Amino acid sequence: MEMNVSNTDEQVVARKKGGLNPAVIIPILFAIGIAIFLFVLGNPSNFQEDARTAGTASVAFADIKGTELHPHGLGVIYMGGVLVPVLITFMIIVIVFSIERAIVLSKASGNGNVDNFVLKIRSLLNNNKVDEALEECDRQQGSIGNVVKEGLTTYKALAHDTTLDKEQKMAGLNKAIEEATTLEMPMLEKNMNILSTLGTVATLVALLGTVLGMIRSFQALGEAGGTPDAAALSIGISEALMNTALGIGTSAIAIILYNYFTSKIDGLTYKIDEISMSIQQSFAEFH
């Protein structure tokens, strides 16, 4: 019994360690976000000299956000300010972890159509063909197949056990299926909280960027006295709107993908529950 518990614990740890490690991946993605902000969006080619300063000395890279140069193309995004690399990182994180979740859930679905697999297993169990059902699980190679295989293995072991009564056997079968399901769930749900969190946090960071941009705009109005500095005013407005656009876009994508993957996980969980019930009904009928 102690050995079985140990093996179960090791499998749980293995499931939790599967997939991308956020503690390692997120700092790397943040560095990539900063690099994109500085060297792609902030590339001097994305800025053109103001006609008012034509013929003067070239403006240093650090002065890109000054009034001497006007952004065009990707340079417009750069004008969003210091929160842009954070929002870019959020977007990259959403993309990377969404791809990871799509791959994991695709593997969890196994080979072939899940509905057909469930129907076939139920048909075999109705005819008490446990060995054939186990062979189908080996071919399926997904989370549902793993749970069903564990349930059917316990099914066979309990069917030949003469030391337990029927009620005890049913309890043991139910426990085996629940443990197998518990082993699969961490792998399915891992990193989903990242998408959920960014769905909210991206909007809040965008709001912060919007506020900072408006503060810059009002400062430009205050410092200009009677005549507003159009260039400084436009920088503040551009910063506010760009942060809003990036944040809302990232948040919308994160929420949509989170709901999509949640529905996929719920679908797999429903199929596992459905077929688990069939296993228990079959055992109750034939044993």
Give me 114's structure tokens: 């899940």
In a domain, 22, yes or no: no
Within 59-165, residue ranges assigned H as helices are: 75-78, 84-109, 114-126, 130-140, 143-159
In a domain, 54, yes or no: no
Angstrom distances, CA of residue 77 to CA of 67, 68, 236, 244:
16, 17, 13, 11
Q: What is the distance between the alpha carbons of residues 261 and 188, in angstroms, rounded to a whole number?
A: 9
Q: Which of 228, 238, 271, 286 is nearest to 83 (CA)?
A: 238
**Residues of the chain with pLDDT > 90: what percent?**
34
Q: What range does the domain containing 109 cover?
A: 80-286
70-107 pLDDT tens trace: 777 788 888 888 899 999 999 999 999 999 999 999 98
114 close to 269: Cβ distance less than 8 angstroms = no
In a domain, 19, yes or no: no
pTM assigned to the model: 0.81
In a domain, 282, yes or no: yes
In a domain, 119, yes or no: yes
Q: What is the distance between the alpha carbons of residues 104 and 286, in angstroms, rounded to a whole number?
A: 36
**Nearby residues of 102 by Cβ (< 8 Å), 6 or more positions away:** 261
pLDDT band at 163 (very low <50, low <70, confident <90, very high): confident
3-state secondary structure 185-251: HHHHHCCHHHHHHHHHHHHHHHHHHHHHHHHHHHHHHHHHCCCCCHHHHHHHHHHHHHHHHHHHHHH
**Residues of the chain with pLDDT > 70: what percent?**
83
* CA–CA–CA angle 92, 97, 98 (5° rounding): 95
In a domain, 148, yes or no: yes
In a domain, 123, yes or no: yes
Token look-up 């399901």 returns 181
Which of 53-62, 71-80, 142-151, 218-227 comes out lowest in average pLDDT? 53-62
Provide the domain count of the chain. 1
Which of 29-38, 125-134, 159-168, 242-251 comes out lowest in average pLDDT? 159-168
